[in-house]
Amino acid sequence: MKVSASFLSSKNIPNDLIKLNETDVDYIHLDIMDGKFVKNKTMPFREMKNIYKYTSKRLDVHLMVSDPLKYIPLYAELNTEYITFHIEVDQDIEKCLNLIKSYSIKAGLAIKPDTPISSLVPYLPYLDMILVMSVEPGAGGQSFIEESENRLEEVRTLLDEYKIDAVINIDGGVNNETVKMCSKADIVVSGSYIISSDDFQEKINTLR
């Protein structure tokens, strides 16, 4: 199991990023919110781009924005492994996925808890990652939705059926207990569980 650490709940981002950089965490998960697709808003790109000063880890970028085409070229500039946006956006999904791939970055689609898994089918050939939301996107510290375990199973079945080699990521309320319901995922995102602790590495170890 790979671990992607989110700093959404951090009170001291530079300090926490430096501490995460000293762990063996696989990715830094960037939550990007525009105040439109979700109510909350994260720091602008002119500040976010300075993340390289604090960490050399590869980035797992999660765009919770209504206009992915505007944000993809920006985050493609960084040390980014994956860029993921939401299937629920009112844009040309295929165009967005192709734009990500044009930068030689892996492309992902995120799906909210109430969106049917079957809606992913038309885009499966373009996907390197599917991000299953186990909370409603837009805020840290929420509780894991237990139905997400079944949704992971459904995604895994879909990938097997269509013979798609994409990873499954899960995001929201993941801790040492809820991770037991994430066995069908390849990557887990964890935020407050890691960031609010005194020993980041210990918490990361419990998620693997």
Active site (annotated) includes residue 114: no
What is the structure's pLDDT at 131? 98
Closest CA to 86 of 160, 140, 31: 31
Q: What is the mean pLDDT of residues 9-23?
A: 95
Query: In the structure encoding, which two tokens stand for residue 6, read together?
Result: 């989110």
Kindly tell me the sign of the dihedral angle through the C-alpha atoms of 46, 105, 6, 94: positive
**Distance between start and end Cα atoms, the chain:** 5
Q: What is the mean pLDDT of residues 98-114?
A: 98
pLDDT tens-digit map of 119-177: 999 999 999 999 999 998 877 667 999 999 999 999 999 999 999 999 999 999 999 99
Catalytic residue among 16, 26, 34, 171: 171
What is the structure's pLDDT at 137? 87
pTM, 2 dp: 0.94
pLDDT tens-digit map of 172-184: 999 999 999 999 9
CATH of the domain at 27: 3.20.20.70
Catalytic residue among 16, 26, 31, 60: 31
Give the residue numbers spanning the domain of 177: 2-207
Split into its structural domains, the chain has a count of 1
What is the structure's pLDDT at 140? 66
CA distance 130 to 138: 18
Active site (annotated) includes residue 31: yes
